[in-house]
Amino acid sequence: MPAQPPWLDLCAADALDPAAPLRVEQAGTAYAVFLLDGAVHVTQDGCTHGPGSLAEGYVDGQEIECPFHQGRFHIPTGRPTAPPCTIPLRTWPARVIAGRVCIDPAASTPPAGAA
Ligand code: FES
């Protein structure tokens, strides 16, 4: 695995199912890992509206529907697309390295600690 940036290994790429996001906990953070049209995307797992786990949600095109109140987000950007969700998800650029889904944990959008 390349030395820079300090990649965080989340899961095996072949564990991903386009119809079902994968919840992964690493270093105290819960991530939802998606496979859309052959591309890997990583968001926070917790819905910004409440206690819903997005990895338990319903994938519809490029959107994830939260199982709790059916709010929606655009997976690649984390942008909310349907109420009651109004706060974007954190997302991380992801890449597959040697068959493993990896992110740079310091490169989230929005950055850690942002409102
Ligand atoms: S907890 Fe996700 S829409 Fe309310």
**Tens of pLDDT, residues 42-95:** 999 999 999 999 999 999 999 999 999 999 999 999 999 999 999 999 999 999
| Residue 27: per-residue pLDDT | 83
Alpha carbon distance 88, 66 (integer Å): 13
| Alpha helix ranges (H) inside 1-115 | none
pLDDT digits (tens, 9 = 90+) for 1-13: 555 678 999 999 9
What predicted TM-score, i.e. pTM, was given to this entire model? 0.93
Read off the pLDDT of residues 21-44 as tens digits, 9 standing for 90 and up: 999 999 899 999 999 999 999 999
Assess whether the C-beta atom of 84 lies below 6 angstroms from ligand 1.
yes
CA 14/CA 33 separation, integer angstroms = 12
- The answer to whether the CB of 46 is under 6 A from ligand 1 is no
Indicate the CATH number of 8-103 among 3.40.1010.10, 3.50.50.60, 2.102.10.10, 2.115.10.20. Answer: 2.102.10.10
Residue 57 near ligand 1, beta carbon < 6 Å: no
Could you identify the atom of ligand 1 that is nearest to the CA of residue 85? 3
CA of 77 to the centre of ligand 1 (A): 18
Q: Is 110 in the pocket of ligand 1 (CB under 6 A)?
A: no
What is the SS3 assignment for 54? helix
